[in-house]
Amino acid sequence: MRLARQDRYAELEPLLASVEHPARYLNHEWGAVEEQDGPFHVCLIYADTYEVGQANLGLAILYDELNAAEGISCERCYLPWIDLSALMREKQVPLLSLESSSPVASFDVVGFTLAHEMIATNIIETLDLAGIPVRADERDEDDAIIFAGGPSAWNCEPLCAMFDAVLLGDGEGEIVDASHVVRDGRAAGKSRAQILLDLSRVQGVYVPSLYDLVVDESSTRWGYAVPKPGTDAPEVVYKRCIPDLSVTDPIPQKMVPYMGIVQDRLAIEILRGCARGCRFCQAGMTYRPVRERPIEQVVDAAEQGLETTGYDEVSLSSLSTTDHSQCALILRQLDERLEGKGVRVSIPSQRLDSFGVDMAAAVSGSRRGGLTFAPEAGTQRLRDVINKNVCSEDLENAARNAFELGWRRMKLYFMMGLPTETDDDVLAITAAARRVLEIGREVVGRGYKSGVSVSVSCSVFVPKCYTPFQWCGQLPIEEVRRRQDLMIRANRDRDIHISYHDAQVSVVEAALSKMGRAGFDLVYGAWKRGCRFDAWTDQFDYEHWLEAGRAMGIDLEELAAEPYDLDARLPWEHTSPGVSKDFLKREWHRAADGVTTDDCTRTSCTGCGVCPTLGVNNNLVGDRCGR
């Protein structure tokens, strides 16, 4: 039963004196939408703390879109930290929206961002705190319609029991269309089931309740989903894709928070999509095709956004910012327009070559902190397997260029457990760091006063759906630990600092990435045992996840390491970003042969299937050839 809409901040306020960071729960930030009259109300939720969720550009885009739509008001909500959640349950205060302090359960639509797999238990915690039934099939006719979307929506099956609809792909337009369907359906007196059927006819909207689960000899043990007879639901729901990024608002992020948040700066999305084709990278497959924002729009937006928000830093955001065909020109124009204003321009991702270093130098001014590159693998053989399309010479030239331009600290990102990896590949990680350090010493000089150092961060490979490695199993956890120890012991230089990710977190992430609908019992079981904020190192409890798995008769470590047959019907194939299964199979075979595939924005079509399937092509504002 939906709660009444009313301002209940008076109940929440007395609790804030007893919790950590009470500024997390203050509303009316500069730039927030003050008028929330509706009459149709949407609440967007990032199920993590305010300082993590407020920085999310995707949520800002949807918030902007919905509030610009006639008759719709949109508010935000973030998951309270464990201290306030406990007090709210004790005092029987439901989860409230930020802008109007209305119960989340009073909204017409509630939307969740699936930012990553480890946010799963937080979504259950959020629904429970709001007083909304966790399972969609247990909700009443007038309960809020629960949407989800975001980068981890491509295998939403372990979570789909919670969602009435999942929005795939670019949310602009899609979120408004879906909200209109709910609004118009309720105005016409339609039942919840009829509204969900109408939602399934919106391009990019997947309605899980309209699909049956089938487990047969052609599937994995998790089965696959097919439309229920008589529903007219599509066999495959393809994502919504905006053909032209320039039609979107370049400055959706207009709010200035009261407290420090992660990535606390103005963000301008200059590019969407990536065609480099790294075979481990889900985003590189699911965000295709590449669409660039025009130079003039980027520069004007940066200048206007900085003036509006008062920030002194602007970040040019994308999967690979220096891949924008006019990146150098954008930076030159920003330098001219922002000269003398004390504004820093940052590029969070740069290419592993001298061009990337030159672009980093163009925005750093006299400040030379650390510079980050991602070789991903230590040997050329393994870089060819993963289609990284860079070589040792690229890394060495980039490092030399960076040290000559004044950098003293270098950070290198690698992955461990990639398909076909051997001990030689692991040892090559340390060797690559040692070579970069040696170049730095050649350029700058030796001794502690030179300040030259290299940091290595090594994550554990997690197979993700809609990548050529989706059929792989994850490296067994004990083998991960052996290889991590091998890498650490190979380092004998105090100026090389090596860190690596927790293999236990990666096991849970891999399990959730591979499971089908039955995976919800794992997530719910983990939550019942106290799991939440699993992405926070000090909150993650591996034993509780293992217990939840054992209660289902599942060994999570065996599940994570389990490979899938190349011809099996996979649990997620009824939702698609447009990349064809044949292309992914070809890439899998090319990986096994160590054969690389070109970036289609620099050569010619590689046959991934996205453009003809979605009717959207790469949209570049300049020529990338000859770089």
- Mean pLDDT in residue range 106-125: 98
**Sign of the CA dihedral 605, 609, 611, 612?**
positive
Tens of pLDDT along 259-302? 999 999 999 999 999 999 999 999 999 999 999 999 999 999 99
Rounded Cα distance between 220 and 158, Å, is 14
State both tokens at 522.
Answer: 């794992």
Q: pLDDT of 222-273, one tens digit each?
A: 999 999 999 999 999 999 999 999 999 999 989 999 999 999 999 999 999 9
Whether omega before 252 lies within 30 degrees of 0, making that bond cis, reads no
Domain map of the chain by residue range?
9-238, 265-349+597-627
* CA–CA gap between residue 220 and residue 388 (Å, rounded): 30
Residues recorded for the chain: 627
Decide if pLDDT at 625 tops 70. Answer: no
The pLDDT of residue 626 is: 35
95 near 81, Cβ under 8 Å? no
Within 8 A by CB and 6+ apart from 252, the residues are: 57, 60, 61, 63, 64, 65
Comparing CA positions, the residue from 163, 267, 273 lying closest to residue 208 is 163
**Beta pairing, strands 453-460 & 409-416:** parallel
What are the backbone dihedrals phi and psi of residue 438, each rounded to the nearest 5 degrees, phi first?
-65, -40
Q: How does the average pLDDT of the chain come out, rounded?
A: 94
Residue 562 has pLDDT above 80, yes or no: yes
Nearest to 296 by CA among 626, 627, 622: 622
The confidence score (pLDDT) of residue 38 equals: 81
Categorize the per-residue pLDDT at 432 as very low, low, confident or very high, splitting at 50, 70 and 90: very high
Please tell me whether residue 101 adopts helix, strand or coil conformation. Answer: coil
C-alpha distances in angstroms, 171 versus 5, 145, 281, 457, 539? 26, 17, 21, 32, 31
Least confident of 107-111, 349-353, 438-442, 583-587: 349-353
Q: Which residue has the higher pLDDT, 514 or 4?
A: 514
State the burial class of residue 440 (Cβ atoms within 10 Å of its Cβ: 0-12, 13-18, 19+): buried
The whole-number pLDDT of residue 359 equals 83
- Phi and psi for 86 in degrees, rounded to 5? -65, -40
How confident is the model over 62-94, as pLDDT tens digits? 999 999 999 999 999 999 999 999 999 999 999
- Which of the two residues, 135 and 28, has the higher pLDDT score? 135
Q: What fold does the segment set 265-349+597-627 form as a domain?
A: Transcription Regulator spoIIAA (3.30.750)
Q: Looking up tokens 């970040």, which residue turns up?
A: 315
* pLDDT tens, residue by residue, 337-396: 998 999 999 888 777 876 778 888 887 665 666 788 999 999 999 999 999 999 999 999
- Cα angle value 434/440/441 (rounded, 5°): 90
Please give the pLDDT value at position 446. Answer: 84
Return the CATH class of domain 9-238. alpha beta
Worst-scoring range by mean pLDDT, 15-29, 359-373, 455-469, 515-529? 359-373
- Residue 354 has a pLDDT of 67
Helix orientation angle between 327-337 and 354-364, rounded to the nearest 10 degrees: 10
Q: Among residues 78, 135, 129, 139, which one has the least CA distance to residue 108?
A: 139
Residue 131 has, within 13 A of its CA and on its CB side, a CA count of 18
